[in-house]
């Protein structure tokens, strides 16, 4: 069965990545594109300012862009991928859900709402059932599922691997070195930050600290309990194009050796979904890997890379990396779409 899908916010940096990933997708077919009112009514090629690294698909180029309202979406569309600015997402996503659409959203609004599943399928697929609570509470025929922030997605799978191997995580410190594409078009043009690093990125640190505990939490069928692990984050923008690199320190209740951690990460399973890479986590022995330019495209940009796993005075220390606009954003939403399909929500 092919599901007809739409992309909300199709002209932005993540919207373009969504089109790049969805156009050849085995289960999804792009049937609608939306953008701001000023782009509506125009051919996509005329308003997209296409910047991703493969050519704009010919059929997509000719599609007419719609305004971002439920009335503008063709009736046969069942699933919407949203990469809207969060202030816009907060206003327009609920009406789409009310109108019966299932929305897989990368936008940061509502990520921490208690009845909105925040999902990385390999980590907490079972949280998707929170949609039953959401539908009861909100009376929606549709549904809203979120993926986390790109820098959260980079390190949480490594923590989940340690937890799955039986380690009880007590405290985590994470320092990020984030690529400029995380800031969208403005970020890419800010490559003039070369010879510089900026030790502040909006509300990024809070997102890593809160989203990680929600993702690692447990859902008992009625209520979600956030994990008790303490997380402290420090976020930095550096002049790389794509790929967020992170330094992580973990303290566990049990003794956790570098060999235990490497095994846990290497063995953490992928899922049988089209966009879940196998292996999910590549573990490097070379302490100078992973690096953004060398390793961001592992698993077609959907894998996590880890390395430099060592003992530190604080506990275990390692580095990890993910492609921020693929695994961390567009690919994350597509993967959640695949999970929604597998679980009968479409
Ligand atoms: C950045 N992580 O690199 C941000 C971009 O919450 O989805 C993504 C913001 C978000 O600037």
Ligand 1 center to 216 CA (angstroms) = 20
- State the fold for domain 150-323: Dihydrodipicolinate Reductase; domain 2 (3.30.360)
Cβ 339 vs Cβ 313: under 8 Å: no
Ligand 1 center to 221 CA (angstroms) = 30
* C-alpha–C-alpha distance, residues 119 and 122, integer Å: 9
* ipTM reported for the complex surpasses 0.85: yes
**Is residue 1 over pLDDT 90?**
no
The full set of domain ranges for the chain reads 3-149+329-342, 150-323
Ligand 1 center to 183 CA (angstroms) = 6
Mean pLDDT for 101-118 is 98
Active-site annotation holds for 323: no
Spell out the alpha helix ranges (H) of the chain.
Answer: 13-22, 44-47, 58-62, 86-98, 121-124, 130-138, 150-164, 184-189, 204-215, 258-267, 292-295, 331-342
As a whole number of Å, the end-to-end CA separation of the chain is 10
Exactly one of 244, 282, 320, 323 is catalytic; name it. 244
DSSP reduced 3-state for 62:
helix
Active-site annotation holds for 150: yes
pLDDT per residue as tens digits for the range 195-229: 889 999 999 999 999 999 999 999 999 999 999 99
pLDDT per residue as tens digits for the range 176-192: 999 999 988 666 666 66
CATH code: domain 3-149+329-342 is 3.40.50.720
Exactly one of 66, 97, 127, 150 is catalytic; name it. 150
**Is residue 143 over pLDDT 70?**
yes
């Amino acid at each position: 069965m092919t599901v007809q899908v739409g992309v909300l916010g199709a002209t932005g940096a993540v919207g373009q990545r969504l089109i790049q990933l969805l156009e050849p997708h085995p289960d999804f077919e792009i049937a609608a594109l939306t953008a701001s009112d000023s782009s509506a009514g125009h051919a996509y090629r005329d308003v997209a300012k296409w910047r991703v690294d493969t050519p704009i698909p010919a059929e997509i180029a000719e599609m007419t862009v719609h305004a971002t309202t439920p009335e503008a979406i063709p009736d046969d569309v069942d699933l919407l991928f949203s990469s809207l600015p969060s202030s816009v997402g907060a206003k327009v996503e609920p009406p789409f859900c009310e109108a019966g659409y299932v929305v897989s959203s990368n936008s940061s609004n509502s990520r921490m709402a208690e009845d909105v599943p925040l999902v990385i399928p390999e980590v907490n697929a079972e949280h998707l059932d929170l949609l039953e609570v959401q539908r009861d509470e909100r009376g929606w025929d549709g549904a809203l599922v979120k993926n986390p922030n790109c820098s959260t997605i980079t390190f949480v799978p490594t923590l989940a691997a340690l937890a799955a191997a039986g380690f009880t995580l007590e405290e985590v410190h994470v320092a990020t070195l984030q690529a400029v594409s995380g800031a969208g078009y403005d970020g890419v043009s800010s490559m003039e930050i070369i010879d510089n690093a900026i030790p502040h990125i909006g509300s990024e640190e809070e997102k890593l600290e809160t989203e990680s505990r929600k993702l690692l939490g447990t859902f008992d069928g009625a209520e979600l309990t956030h994990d008790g692990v303490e997380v402290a984050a420090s976020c930095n923008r550096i002049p790389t194009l794509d790929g967020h690199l992170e330094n992580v320190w973990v303290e566990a209740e049990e003794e956790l050796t570098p060999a235990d951690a490497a095994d846990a990460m290497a063995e953490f399973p992928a899922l049988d979904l089209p966009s879940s890479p196998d292996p999910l986590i590549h573990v490097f022995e070379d302490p100078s890997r992973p690096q953004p330019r060398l390793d961001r495209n592992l698993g077609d940009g959907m894998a996590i890379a880890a390395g430099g796993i060592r003992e530190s005075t604080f506990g275990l220390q390692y580095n990890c990396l993910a492609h921020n606009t693929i695994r961390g954003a567009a690919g994350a939403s597509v993967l959640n779409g695949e999970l929604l399909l597998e679980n009968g929500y479409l």
